[in-house]
Amino acid sequence: MKRTLEVLNELEREGVFTRYAIGGAMAATFYTEPVLTFDLDVFVLLQSSATGLVSLAPIYDALRTRGYKEEQECILIEGVPVQFLPAYNALIEEALAQAREIDYEGVPARVVRAEHLIAICLQTGRAKDRARVAMLREQAHLDHELLADILNRHQLEDKWKLWTE
């Protein structure tokens, strides 16, 4: 995964996207026991086009130029299927902006904070999100003040109560 992260850093440096952070199951795994996943979810902040539309096409073009191939909704970067997800709402934008800087075997990278992962799970609302919230509550060292603030600002307190009480 080290080489995959190096490629993501190159794309960010070249301005293909403004900022990236690992999300999804791999981000959760940063804070919890390892969980099975077959892809690497990467949230990206993209520059809007002149029409205001956000497109992943520049990322795919840049990666195709480097010889990486698409596989269904992912693109295979150095053996890892990466799924790019544009920041689609204010919560994801905030999660990207405040993502945690990490060092992966000498390569800098970013991972969405555990508190934002919980909020994203609450917002998404699938059964596996509920399981992920439970695991993060059990195993991650959460900043409860930060979590309460995020849940309040993104109107997720009721969902949190429903899932945790």
The pair of structure tokens assigned to 116 is: 């934002």
Helix (H), strand (E) counts: the chain: 8, 7
In angstroms, the CA 18 to CA 40 distance is: 19
In angstroms, the CA 68 to CA 80 distance is: 10
Question: Is 3 among the residues that bind other proteins (CB under 8 A)?
Answer: yes
- The nearest distance, CB 153 to other proteins, in angstroms, is 28
Specify whether the CB–CB gap between 62 and 11 falls below 8 A.
yes
- Indicate which single residue of 13, 14, 33, 144 sits in contact with other proteins (rule: CB under 8 A): 33
Amino acid, res. 145: E
In angstroms, the CA 46 to CA 15 distance is: 9
Question: Is 85 among the residues that bind other proteins (CB under 8 A)?
Answer: no
In angstroms, the CA 11 to CA 54 distance is: 17
- Indicate which single residue of 31, 43, 84, 160 sits in contact with other proteins (rule: CB under 8 A): 31
When the beta carbons of 71 and 158 are compared against other proteins, the nearer one is 71
- Indicate which single residue of 44, 74, 92, 147 sits in contact with other proteins (rule: CB under 8 A): 74
Q: What phi and psi, each to the nearest 5 degrees, are found at residue 2?
A: -55, -45
- Indicate which single residue of 6, 30, 137, 163 sits in contact with other proteins (rule: CB under 8 A): 30
- The nearest distance, CB 108 to other proteins, in angstroms, is 13
Question: Is 139 among the residues that bind other proteins (CB under 8 A)?
Answer: yes
- Indicate which single residue of 54, 56, 102, 146 sits in contact with other proteins (rule: CB under 8 A): 102
Positions in the binding site for other proteins (CB under 8 A): 1-4, 26, 29-39, 71-72, 74, 78-81, 83, 102, 104-105, 138-140
